[in-house]
Amino acid sequence: GRIRHYRWDVKYEYKSPDCFKKLVITINGRSPGPTIQAEEGDTVVVEVNNSLVTENLAIHWHGIRQIGSPWFDGTEGVTQCPVLPGDTFKYQFVVDQAGTYLYHAHYGMQREAGLYGLIRVSPRQPEPFAYDYDRSIILDDWFHKSTYEQAAGLSSIPFQWVGEPQSLLINGKGRFNCSLSSPVTGICNATNPECAPYSQTVVPGKTYRLRIGSLTTLSALSFQIQGHKMRVVEADGHYVEPFEVENLFIYSGETYSVLVKADQDPKRNYWITSNVVSRNRTTPPGLAIFNYYPNHPMRSPPTPPPTPPAWDDVKPRLAQSLAIKARQGFIQKPPTTSDRVIVLLNTQNTINGYRKWSVNNVSFSLPQTPYLVALKDNLKDAFDQTPPPEGYDSVNYDIFSVQNNTNATSSNGIYRLEFNSTVDVILQNANTMNKNNSETHPWHLHGHDFWVLGYGNGKFDKDKDPKKYNLENPILKNTVPVHPYGWTALRFKANNPGVWLFHCHIDSHFYMGMGVVFEEGIHRLAEKLPSSIMGCGETKTFRP
């Protein structure tokens, strides 16, 4: 493979992505950052200069498995110390698998300040579907409060929730209603060209591959192109047995490729929209323009944007999850049995007066010393050596009502997996601390793809449900939703030496403890870890 070399300067700049002016983290002056383009087998080198002045930094390559380079996963507290202001950090990894991936900040809640982008890896073999043009669309939700205000609110007594986003961005552009802002809250200028909608020009009759990625902080989205059907062909870097949708439901951390044919009346433009689902939406739709050449790219479509699906209708979302199967001819079969089953109950609770999210009653906290170094160098006091529980009291726990979860604790203990073993993870959803409420959580696994064996409503039944697993053509993914009051079953091979985070991709949920860590094969790693990942916690003296 070739070497793809990037030099990034990361800093804060005033920008108005939705017409409201605020500090945004940019890469080389842009947010979303530049798209990384490579071919399967290439080596990507990104030299990141932290020009944030007063803030640490780490960048994660979401969906890249980092085989042989677990120290460059970019997860602060897990695989590296943060990059200090003024420092340059060199990430180097092989993109071994074609497909659409993401990158984003992985330090505190920094991602939501705008540090995110797309990675496109083209295959060496031709794709199993045809299209004329290849385009990218990255979706986000946008908050006007700084990450600090949000984080401080989440870790306060009384708890202050971040609320719903002020706008939805499509390729970094959105529209906030400036009449809602005051000179006190900030500067908003509806005619600022920075917030002109994104316009995707299409030539009538041509077929477009749209690579759609979501890096929302909070929201699950429904994505639509007015009057056009979308054919889903790729999910998280794997070919999907094609199916058609009118709305594409997409969760934070997921990517899809869809094929769209520009086969409608060419005398007009159409709306591209994103809408919040799964939370009672107060945020206006994200709007972009599907522009039929040669109409003016900024001409508003003559009809209003399509109505989004009801925010609280879980059925069509579960149906789409179930429809995603591996494409015939590209099926990688999972092992038929597993060596270990870990059930992860997702709950909200209060610990010492603080509102938290927990997994099996343990709210995850990051250690000072990155696990990778602590494990490799056997620093036993760097984190809690007691492993978290393998499950919960599934007989007596009522997932449908508010529970006290009084014995919830905070811990940075981890799951240690036997190298090369097959692990099943059952994500079990439950009621939150509000009556009749259960949320959607997109769970993302670092360092692996997993097979999605099944989804279900209610409580997972360990005797009956595994019999219904799809072992024939399950899709491989790196991010998967667990639907309200439902469960999701995954299987993966613990065959990538390193330490890997598995967490809810909603920024505030992970910040509040919704995650776990897996270790496997740590002793198979090379004698010396790169010193560039050290310098914090107990590794302070390790760095020359």
> By the criterion CB under 6 A, which residues form the site for ligand C2O?
60, 62, 104, 106, 253, 444, 446, 501, 503, 505
Of 62 and 175, CB closest to ligand C2O: 62
Position 506 contacts Cu ion (CB under 5 A): yes
- Of 248 and 517, nearer to ligand C2O (C-beta) is 517
Residue (432 or 539) nearer to Cu ion, CB: 432
Q: Which does 504 bind (CB under 5 to 8 A by kind): ligand C2O, Cu ion, none?
A: Cu ion
Cα dihedral sign, 318-347-450-460:
negative
Which of ligand C2O, Cu ion, none lies near 175, with the C-beta cut-off 5 to 8 A by kind? Answer: none
State the nearest-atom distance from the C-beta of 120 to ligand C2O, in Å.
Answer: 16
Q: How far is the CB of 116 from ligand C2O (least distance, A)?
A: 9
**Nearest approach, Cβ of residue 88 and ligand C2O (Å):** 22
Secondary structure E strands in 68-173: 88-94, 99-105, 116-122, 133-142, 167-170
Which of the listed partners (Cu ion, ligand C2O, none) does 211 bind, with a CB threshold of 5 to 8 Å by partner kind?
A: none
For position 173 contacting Cu ion by CB under 5 A, the verdict is no
Going by C-alpha positions, the residue among 385, 281, 347 that lies closest to residue 512 is 347
**How far is residue 355's CA from residue 368's CA, in Å, rounded to a whole number?**
22
- CA dist 366 → 78, 105, 325, 503 (Å): 8, 16, 35, 12
Cβ closer to ligand C2O: 20 or 107? 107
Partner whose footprint covers residue 509, from Cu ion, ligand C2O, none (CB < 5 to 8 Å by kind): Cu ion
Query: Both tokens of residue 258?
Result: 């869809």
Residue that the structure tokens 């917030």 belong to: 195
- By beta-carbon proximity to ligand C2O, the closer residue of 106 and 509 is 106
Query: Pattern 413-442, binding to Cu ion, x per CB under 5 A?
Result: ----------------------------x-
Nearer to ligand C2O, 118 or 195 (CB): 118
Query: 53 φ, ψ to 5°?
Result: 70, -55
| Least distance (Å) between residue 75 CB and ligand C2O | 6
Q: Would you give the distance in Å from CA 129 to the centre of its chain?
A: 26
CA angle 146, 168, 247 (to 5 degrees): 145
What's the min distance (Å) between Cβ of 198 and ligand C2O? 22
Instruction: Encode burial over 377-407: b for 16+ CB neighbours within 10 A, e otherwise.
Output: eebeebbbeeebbeebeeeebebeeebebee
Place of tokens 């401080």: 152
Stretch that binds Cu ion, among 227-235, 283-291, 487-495, 503-511 (CB under 5 A): 503-511
Beta strands 486-493 and 422-428 are antiparallel
In the bound complex, what is the minimum distance in angstroms from residue 508's beta carbon to Cu ion? 8
Q: Which CB, 269 or 358, lies closer to ligand C2O? A: 358
Question: Token digits for 531?
Answer: 């010193």
Residue 504 interacting with Cu ion (CB under 5 A)? yes
Task: Please answer whether residues 8 and 47 qualify as being in contact, where contact means their C-beta atoms are separated by less than 8 angstroms.
Answer: yes
The Cβ of residue 463 has, within 10 Å, a number of other Cβ atoms equal to 6
Query: Is 374 one of the binding residues for Cu ion (CB under 5 A)?
Result: no
* Cα three-residue angle 343-501-110, rounded to 5 degrees: 125
CB closer to Cu ion out of 272 and 504: 504
Binding residues among 440-459 for Cu ion as defined by CB under 5 A: 441
The answer to whether residues 519 and 417 touch, using CB atoms and an 8 Å cutoff, is: yes
Does position 355 interact with Cu ion (CB under 5 A)? The reply is no
- Minimum CB distance to ligand C2O smaller for 162 or for 514: 514
Tell me how far, at minimum, the Cβ of 104 lies from ligand C2O, in Å. Answer: 6
Which of 13-21, 38-46, 62-70, 502-510 is the region at the interface with Cu ion (rule: CB under 5 A)?
Answer: 502-510
Q: Closest approach of Cβ 322 to ligand C2O, in Å?
A: 24
Could you give the CA distance from residue 66 to residue 56 in angstroms, rounded to a whole number?
22
Nearer to ligand C2O among residue 21 and residue 60 (C-beta): 60
| Short-list 69, 142, 134, CA closest to 111 | 142
- Of 3-11, 266-274, 333-341, 507-515: span binding Cu ion (CB under 5 A): 507-515
Cα distance between residue 320 and residue 323, in whole Å: 5
Q: Which residues bind Cu ion (CB under 5 A)?
A: 441, 504, 506, 509
